[in-house]
Amino acid sequence: MMPRLVSRQRVMVLAVTLACTMAAVTTLINGALLDRQIDQRLIVLNLIQVLGLGFCLSYLMGLKLMQLTLASQKLEQIASYDFLTDALTRARFFAQIAAQPNLRGAFLIFDMNDFKRINDTLGHAAGDLALVQVAQAARQHLGPQDYLCRLGGDEFLAFFAGLEQAQIHARARSIAMEITACTVGSGAAAIGLSASFGLSVLEAGQDMDAAIALADADLYRAKSIHHRRNRGHRALRLAR
């Protein structure tokens, strides 16, 4: 759970409250000493000093609390979200799913086709942009109970809660269409994006790792088909 941010307004309220509390305590102590003929001007001076000191200490403590809260939020962000695509990290993804018993739905695993060619031809900045576009394309088809994570490199894994296999096929086609509408580079150097997909259904009580392994095997078959087609296309061009 993300820690709640401490605002400057809350820091000011804390500072004033603590300063007033310290002043009230000082007033009670000085009131008890009035019978001893203590100079009232000295009492007022003491109150002013206590108020000032209490406010300064409280404000500094509040600012430090703000810094600690922000640092904690940053660490939470790093641990939970991929820095480039803003998809969940692998650890957070599996923790989210494991926290929901008897969850059912479908896994969709996908990675980009010819990603190395983008990096080699246009550079790693273009490769990073391609990854961001792929994540955005998939995110458009996520529901409130769905999750998307970046497994590593150009490989992503999505979980769609409650979907059957036919529905996830339709979802995969929609995501594929979104991805193929994306390009990196410009002009003659522009490269269109595409991805290969694997899917599996997770039934209630089924082992999650086994379901993901099935989706991974499905992805491997899709990648093999893609590579065979590409080799065939190259052979035709060479033959001509």
Q: CA-CA distance, 184 to 133, in Å (whole number)?
A: 9
Q: What is the pLDDT of residues 143-190, one digit of tens each?
A: 888 999 999 899 999 999 988 778 888 888 999 999 999 999 988 889
Q: What is the pLDDT of residues 63-89, one digit of tens each?
A: 666 666 555 555 555 557 999 999 999
Question: Which range has the worst mean pLDDT, 19-28, 48-57, 95-104, 210-219?
Answer: 19-28
pLDDT tier, 19 (very low <50, low <70, confident <90, very high otherwise)? low
Q: What is the DSSP string of 22-57?
A: HHHHHHHHHHHHGGGT--HHHHHHHHHHHHHHHHHH
Q: What is the pLDDT of residues 132-153, one digit of tens each?
A: 999 999 999 998 889 999 998 9
pLDDT tier, 218 (very low <50, low <70, confident <90, very high otherwise)? very high
